[in-house]
Amino acid sequence: MKVISVGLLGLGTVGCGVVKIVENHQDKLMHQVGCPVKVKKALVKDLYKERLVDLNPELLTLHAEEVLDDPDIDVVIEVMGGVEDTRHHILRALQNKKHVVTANKDLMAVYGSELLAAAAQNGCDLFYEASVAGGIPILRGLVDGLASDRITKMMGIVNGTTNFILTKMNNEGSSYPDVLKEAQELGFAEADPTADVEGLDAARKMAILSTLGFSMNIDLHDVEVKGISQVSEEDLLFSKKLGYTMKLIGIAHREQEKVEVSVQPTLLPSDHPLANVKNEYNAVYVYGEAVGETMFYGPGAGSLPTATAVVSDLVGVMKNMRLGVNGKSMVTPQFAKTLKEKSEVMAKHFLRVHVKDEVGVLSHLTNLFSQNGVSFEKILQLPLKEAAFSEVVVVTHLASLQEYENLLGELRNKEFVKEIKSSYRVEGEVAV
């Protein structure tokens, strides 16, 4: 094989990073695969836009078919984003017997099963390491490094925008709107930050991780999602007072053959490794029956970190080409999907509630918790500026999600309860 030709769909931040790595690491690529690699064509929206790389204008095109139908292009790298149009482009590339590398978690979370099946049918590779946690090789770690183990739990920070926001709120006591505005000005958050701050981006990544880690088809709608837009400075202050740090955590947990997958603001003990992952960094804890606990940590986004994962997948495709084993790496899910019922999801919870400041209210509260099978691990009671009310802050012992939701429903209807201020999941034990 004299040269491997690559076609790019998209030439934005990550696409430019891919071009830089291919150009600057040519000796490394030659050593890995025994032949040079070149970018033959790149699909763009604007031929004359200024870019972070100096690419020959003749290599740019406005027409996707010039990439997808070119018989000389061996591998298509998709870094354009989007879902529906992108899906059609990738299917067309696979039908034309081109291998595909993508960084598109939205696409893989929704259409991953279909696209992987199409790749296998056409004897092609479809790799997507960069779709989760940027430069962290978490997918390859699950598929290859931990292939012999049985994964029981994955828990991590998989969205850099929300981690940046919560880090700033924790460290500086700033309000959510102020930090969000700063994140947008710095380029960490989009003009419309909904996908990040409401947990949708992290949910897509957790669906991908769960599908691979548990060998089970987990869909996006199987992920329970709660974002950070309602997190207040008071929530974070009380968390600290009780020995916790709040993070937006993706949790995928398997017990026997039943799984739960969620993304939600979660209180972690302040000495937990994930509690100390700052700013835009990502980290994923993986628990295996044999290996025990492992943690993957690194930059979760950015041009070169994400491009590094893309080009690593490209190297994987090229090695398979040399060995003649393209399209043979896909393993169909081993297990049928079985989601836990709410009565089977066990967790501790943090709860802030405003109640009437009267004799007997705490006793009523205690009885209500007890009747619903939920017990206190920690409890604080503080006066409010409104003299007639006080604030009660509780961390519960382990309880089922069903029991806890029943408790919340009853609290809302009690005459002595003014308002439930906030409620979050708690993971781990605070050292005494």
Same domain, 186 and 279: yes
Same domain, 154 and 236: yes
Active-site positions? 205
CATH code for the domain of 13: 3.40.50.720
pLDDT value at residue 144? 80
Number of H helices and number of E strands within the chain?
A: 14, 17
In angstroms, the CA 52 to CA 75 distance is 22
pLDDT value at residue 85? 96
Average pLDDT over residues 93-101: 97
Residue 432 lies in a domain: no
Which has the closest alpha carbon to 8: 22, 26, 24? 22
Give the rounded percent of residues in the chain with a pLDDT score beyond 70: 98
* Strand ranges inside 278-385, DSSP E: 281-288, 292-299, 346-356, 376-383
Same domain, 359 and 292: no
In angstroms, the CA 411 to CA 403 distance is 12
Neighbouring CB atoms inside 10 A of 174's CB total 17
Residue 151 lies in a domain: yes
Same domain, 179 and 39: no
Which has the closest alpha carbon to 77: 26, 129, 113? 129
Same domain, 173 and 253: yes
Distance of CA 273 to the CA centre of its chain: 17
Residue carrying structure tokens 């003009």: 191
Same domain, 125 and 151: no
Same domain, 142 and 264: yes
Q: List, as one string, the DSSP characters of 41-103.
A: EEE-S-TT---SS---GGGEES-THHHHS-TT--EEEE-S--SHHHHHHHHHHHHTT-EEEE-
pLDDT digits (tens, 9 = 90+) for 314-336: 999 999 988 888 887 766 778 88
Residue 332 lies in a domain: no
Distance of CA 47 to the CA centre of its chain: 33
The length of the chain is 432
pLDDT digits (tens, 9 = 90+) for 28-69: 888 888 889 999 999 999 998 888 888 889 999 999 999 999
Same domain, 122 and 143: no
Checking DSSP bridges between strand 224-225 and strand 244-255, what pairing results, if any? unpaired
Structural domain range at position 398: 343-426
Residue 196 lies in a domain: yes
Residue 335 lies in a domain: no
Residue 300 pLDDT exceeds 90: no
Average pLDDT over residues 361-388: 91
CA-CA distances (angstroms) from residue 156 to 43, 172, 385?
Answer: 34, 23, 38
pLDDT digits (tens, 9 = 90+) for 126-154: 999 888 877 788 888 887 878 888 999 99
Residue 302 pLDDT exceeds 80: no
Residue 10 lies in a domain: yes
Q: Which two tokens stand for residue 23?
A: 């150009």
Same domain, 421 and 350: yes
Name the 3-class secondary structure at 204: helix
The helix or strand, by DSSP H or E, that contains position 331, with its residue range, turns out to be none
pLDDT value at residue 331? 67
pLDDT value at residue 150? 92
Tell me phi and psi for residue 51, to 5 degrees.
-130, 170
Residue 328 lies in a domain: no
Same domain, 16 and 108: yes
Residue carrying structure tokens 């739990």: 153
Overall number of domains in the chain: 3
In angstroms, the CA 17 to CA 23 distance is 10
In angstroms, the CA 79 to CA 104 distance is 7
pLDDT value at residue 432? 62
The helix or strand, by DSSP H or E, that contains position 315, with its residue range, turns out to be helix 303-323
Tell me phi and psi for residue 106, to 5 degrees.
-60, -45
The helix or strand, by DSSP H or E, that contains position 5, with its residue range, turns out to be strand 4-9
Question: pTM value?
Answer: 0.89
CATH code for the domain of 149: 3.30.360.10
In angstroms, the CA 151 to CA 148 distance is 9
Residue 1 pLDDT exceeds 70: no
State the number of CA atoms in the 13 A half-sphere of 36 facing the CB. 7
Residue 331 lies in a domain: no
Do 134 and 303 form a contact (C-beta atoms < 8 A)?
no
Same domain, 82 and 151: no
Residue 394 pLDDT exceeds 90: yes
Residues with Cβ within 8 Å of 12's Cβ and at least 6 positions away in sequence, in order, are: 79, 80, 81
Same domain, 37 and 109: yes
What is the C-alpha radius of gyration for the chain, rounded to an integer number of angstroms? 24
Residue 189 pLDDT exceeds 90: no
Which has the closest alpha carbon to 116: 33, 212, 42? 212
CATH code for the domain of 409: 3.30.70.260
pLDDT band at 95 (very low <50, low <70, confident <90, very high): very high
Amino acid identity of residue 420, one-letter, is I
pLDDT digits (tens, 9 = 90+) for 255-299: 988 999 999 999 999 999 999 999 889 999 999 999 999 999 988
In angstroms, the CA 277 to CA 157 distance is 8
Distance of CA 217 to the CA centre of its chain: 17
